[in-house]
A and B are shown apart, each in its own frame.
Chain A
């Protein structure tokens, strides 16, 4: 499985060149194991890669370990009493395993947390300023600010509003904008479509595409598999702390298991999710 995936990446990126040595991926997670409270094993040897400039989707049901993976990447395990017990996280050539969260942001990883988590008591403008906390150059911050307002006209209109009074969609835009204020090279998004109306989900999707086109690599964690795979170059499926399937989005979209369990459409007659024992699925996937 691993070998095929590397092959696919090479194939996509270096179709015409072939001879150049492979540059390090933007992010690579190697054999990561994470334990909460010293006993609860949540990630069991998880590996994945985000190539530079790509959008990578991470799918999985509740409790699969998606959010834990993001915490492990960004150094936020500590407040949750989690620990990386094995494996490494690398940003290009640098090892950032269990580094300080501020250091990780400074090195170029920003994240949009699950449930938006905007600072509800302060204004939109102050939220955006908070996102640029690790940066020193005022001119650069001003540039990012202009870029974010350009990307989200709705935020430009409500600069002085208290963030808590924005609508859910606007808050999601604010959360994304706040992450962009750190001028990240890699953006992690944790379920940005959660709780949004279909039209807003589309809007979020377009924004992610636009951000990616401007040169930011994206790791998109989603339960909305259709949305995620529609814009991702590559996808991973996570189950109980392990990657059980990965491949180019088109391949995943065509896969009958994925269609059945993540897209809710199957070629044959519909089966109940409960009828299918999870070990059966795992068996099939690892075969």
Chain B
């Protein structure tokens, strides 16, 4: 039982990271209809910026986290403003290709600036742990879960109650009718990119503070968050969070019971679990766990 709970805790921490990235995917997809493949690149950029603030500029870690989110948001919004704005009215496919292009630009840029070797981000958590009820909790994992919960709650409050959040929802639903109300689609798109980039950066710096440290391949985590988004339903922010947690839990539990249950399938079965789970869930619910079925009058 202890082992199970311990695995669940690890799963929640991992799932929180996935949830942040998946939420970023959904925010952009919902408002612009585009899947942003550069999410992993923005995540890596955010993590490295956080490293620079924390290590090179010796800013307090908490401030470094805020700064890296803010600067990533700026990068996201600027990219939207300079490049994607010209693509309004073009097929989403073309825009998706541009985001892939952005990913391939960001990756070598990051290695050119920061190099290939592993970095350790100066942070107050390191490998410290606390014990409670026979379980061992990593301080970083606790912070990851706590911060994710806080950020997700803030996002939903913003999305639900603020006027810009309302503008994002209606633009997602009917861009032309939204425009007719005087809602500027440009502002909505730029905001979506800023939010998604900030979420990715937060996920990145939280990962980088972990035992794995910071390497250029940190952006690959976005690949695992991808099934989280699809599983939750591409247009559902709540689904992204749920999907992230489900995938994180499934991955951690598979890893925990690898030797007892999955040894017949070879090692590292946990790596493919997110995708297996995505396929199974999509077979049962093609629009994802919480994706929208159209509202219809009866």
Interface set of A (CB-CB < 8 Å, partner B): 74, 76, 78-79, 81, 100-102, 104-106, 111, 113, 117-122, 126, 129-131, 133-134, 162, 164-167, 178, 182
**Which residues on A sit within 8 Å (CB–CB) of B181?**
105, 130-131, 133-134, 178, 182
Given A79-B176, A119-B177, A126-B166, the answer on whether A165 and B297 have CB atoms closer than 8 Å is yes
Check A74–B170 contact: CB distance below 8 A.
no
Contacts A119-B170, A162-B295; A129 near B176 (Cβ below 8 A): no
Q: For the complex, what is the distance from the CA of A72 to the CA of B174, rounded to whole Å?
A: 19
B279-298 contacts to A (CB < 8 Å): 292, 295-297
Chain A residues within 8 Å of B173, by CB: 119-122
User: Once the chains bind, are A105 and B182 in contact (CB under 8 Å)?
Assistant: yes
Bound CA span A122–B166, Å: 9
Distance to closest chain A CB from B139 (angstroms): 40
**Any A CB within 8 A of the CB of B221:** no
Q: Which residues of B contact A (CB under 8 A)?
A: 89, 163, 166-167, 169-170, 173-184, 292, 295-297
Check A133/B182 contact, CB under 8 A, given A79-B175, A79-B176, A122-B169: yes
Chain A min CB distance to B152 (Å): 20
21 contacts between A and B (CB under 8 A): A76-B180, A101-B179, A101-B182, A102-B182, A105-B181, A111-B180, A117-B174, A119-B170, A121-B292, A121-B295, A122-B166, A126-B166, A130-B166, A130-B167, A130-B170, A133-B182, A134-B181, A134-B182, A164-B295, A164-B296, A182-B182
The residue from B175, B183, B292, B297 contacting A133, defined by CB atoms under 8 A apart? B183
In the bound complex, CA of A102 to CA of B296 (Å): 30
Q: Are A167 and B297 in contact (CB under 8 A)?
A: yes
Min CB–CB distance B148 → chain A (angstroms): 26
- Residues in A neighbouring B182, C-beta threshold 8 A: 101-102, 104-106, 133-134, 182
Neighbouring A residues of B169 by C-beta, 8 Å: 119, 121-122, 126
For A81, the chain B residues whose CB sits under 8 A away are 89
Contacts of A74 in B (CB 8 A): 180
Q: Determine the distance from Cα of A166 to Cα of B173 in the docked complex, in whole angstroms.
A: 17
Query: In the complex, A238 Cα to B179 Cα: how many Å?
Result: 26
